[in-house]
């Protein structure tokens, strides 16, 4: 049987952080080693353009995402790694799919709805203030990314499930219209662990809250950030509830089971916050120092290796894209 396609994209909108590592990067790297699947992973740079208009930042963040993936174990020999902007077929399909996407479906897409809601709360007279058409039709471009590669599985975080469902709906409208299976129907693949990683202030770790621990921060910065994690005011010797502590939640992500159990006991026995944070820093640094070195090596050599990997990925992705577009053009009658 042919291998099933597994595909995911990451938007280059900032420095990757521990939440991205656990929620997106690590699961996609692990999945890419399944024997029965062909993985296509890409940098969703045109999605980032909906909000990011600084050319230098867009280009830097794009390289950083590619470097992060490779530094954390993605094997470019196994995975087709590419930039969305290198695949012109995505944008051709984007238009075609737009002609099959009901406008009402876009009105209900959550990123757009969130902008409208914000405008309502701020008593803006124009509820669409600050919304560009790229943001509004974001799910269509995403459907194009997915359907173009005949994707079966899309590993994503819970916040993206609605987008995958939209892609699936649009694929079904298209297939039904032309009475043939032009597109494979995609499905979201949600990581079982599904953990929401807390940030320095205890809220969800997110660029938008400015509470992140960047994966590749230098050791000294890592240490400073760990010391800034919010804790309660309990003193050394007072028992601490591990399940309510960000320090503990982060520790268990990177430590072994035996270490985590010992750490839990230390919390119950009243470990001092300073000592708990020193230990957290140790295990974080142990996990991240290897990837950090590889990441900087990839970015520092003028990013030549990195650029070569991306340049080599594009034609492999385009070969699949072109085969799909052939079927699409034939179906709609513009052969
Ligand atoms: P941010 O909230 O920092 O802007 P993104 O929305 O760009 O992050 O998220 C990129 C990917 O990382 C998504 O798949 C998302 O599910 C995952 N992710 C982001 N933050 C977290 C977190 N705190 N815990 C788990 N996964 C996360
Ligand atoms: N929208 C996704 C995000 O914000 C990124 C993305 C773009 C994507 N195209 C995709 C994810 C296709 C999976 C499949 O994280």
Which atom belonging to ligand 1 lies closest to the Cα atom of 11?
7
Burial of 247 (0-12, 13-18, 19+ CB in 10 A): buried
Euclidean distance between CA atoms 8 and 84, whole angstroms? 11
At 196 the pLDDT is: 86
Tell me the CA–centroid distance for residue 37 and ligand 1, in Å: 24
Q: Whose CA is nearest to atom 1 of ligand 1?
A: 206
Run of H or E residues at 232: none
Tell me the CA–centroid distance for residue 54 and ligand 1, in Å: 21
24 lines ligand 1 (CB under 6 A): yes
All residue ranges of the chain with pLDDT < 70 are 1, 193-194
For Cα atoms 321, 325, 326, give the angle at the middle one, nearest 5 degrees: 120
Q: Whose CA is nearest to atom 16 of ligand 1?
A: 157
Tell me the CA–centroid distance for residue 145 and ligand 2, in Å: 8
Is the whole model's pTM more than 0.85, yes or no? yes
Ligand at shortest distance from the CA of 211: 1
14 lines ligand 2 (CB under 6 A): no
196 lines ligand 1 (CB under 6 A): yes
Domains and CATH numbers, the chain: 4-197+303-332 (3.40.50.620), 207-296 (1.10.240.10)
At 257 the pLDDT is: 97
Euclidean distance between CA atoms 150 and 182, whole angstroms? 9
Nearest to 83 by CA among 69, 64, 62, 68: 62
HSE toward the beta carbon, residue 268, CA cutoff 13 A = 7
Burial of 6 (0-12, 13-18, 19+ CB in 10 A): buried
At 144 the pLDDT is: 98
Tell me the CA–centroid distance for residue 144 and ligand 2, in Å: 11
Mutate to test the pocket of ligand 2, among 5, 6, 8, 12 (most ligand atoms within 8 A of CB): 8
Tell me the CA–centroid distance for residue 44 and ligand 2, in Å: 7
Mutate to test the pocket of ligand 1, among 8, 10, 18, 20 (most ligand atoms within 8 A of CB): 20
Query: What number of residues does the chain have?
Result: 335
24 lines ligand 2 (CB under 6 A): no
């Amino acid at each position: 049987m042919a291998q099933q396609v597994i595909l995911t994209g990451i938007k280059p909108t900032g420095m990757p952080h521990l939440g991205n590592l656990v929620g997106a990067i690590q699961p996609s790297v692990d999945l890419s080693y399944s024997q029965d699947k062909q993985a296509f992973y890409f940098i969703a740079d045109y999605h980032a353009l909906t909000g990011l208009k600084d050319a230098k930042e867009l280009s830097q963040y794009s390289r950083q995402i590619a470097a992060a993936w490779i530094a954390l174990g993605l094997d470019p020999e196994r995975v087709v790694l590419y930039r969305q902007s290198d695949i012109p077929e995505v944008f051709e399909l984007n238009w075609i799919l737009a002609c099959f996407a009901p406008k009402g479906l876009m009105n209900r897409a959550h990123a757009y709805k969130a902008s409208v809601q914000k405008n309502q709360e701020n008593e803006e007279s124009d509820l669409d203030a600050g919304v560009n058409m790229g943001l509004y039709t974001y799910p269509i471009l995403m459907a194009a990314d997915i359907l173009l590669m005949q994707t079966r599985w899309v590993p994503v975080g819970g916040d993206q499930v609605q987008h995958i469902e939209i892609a699936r709906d649009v694929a079904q409208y298209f297939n039904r219209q032309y009475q043939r299976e032009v597109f494979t129907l995609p499905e979201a693949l949600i990581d079982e662990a599904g953990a929401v990683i807390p940030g320095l202030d205890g809220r969800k770790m997110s660029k938008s809250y400015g509470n992140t621990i960047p994966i590749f921060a230098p050791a000294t910065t890592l240490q400073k950030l760990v010391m800034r994690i919010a804790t309660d005011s309990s003193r050394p010797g007072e028992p601490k509830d591990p399940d309510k502590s960000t320090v503990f939640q982060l520790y268990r992500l990177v430590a072994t089971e035996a270490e985590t159990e010992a750490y839990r006991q230390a919390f119950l026995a009243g470990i001092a916050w300073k000592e708990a944070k020193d230990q957290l820093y140790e295990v974080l640094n142990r996990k991240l120092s290897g990837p950090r070195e590889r990441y900087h090596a990839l970015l520092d050599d003028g990013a030549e290796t990195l650029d070569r990997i991306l340049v080599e990925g594009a034609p492999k992705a385009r070969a699949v894209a072109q085969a799909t577009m052939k079927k699409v053009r034939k179906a709609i009658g513009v052969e």
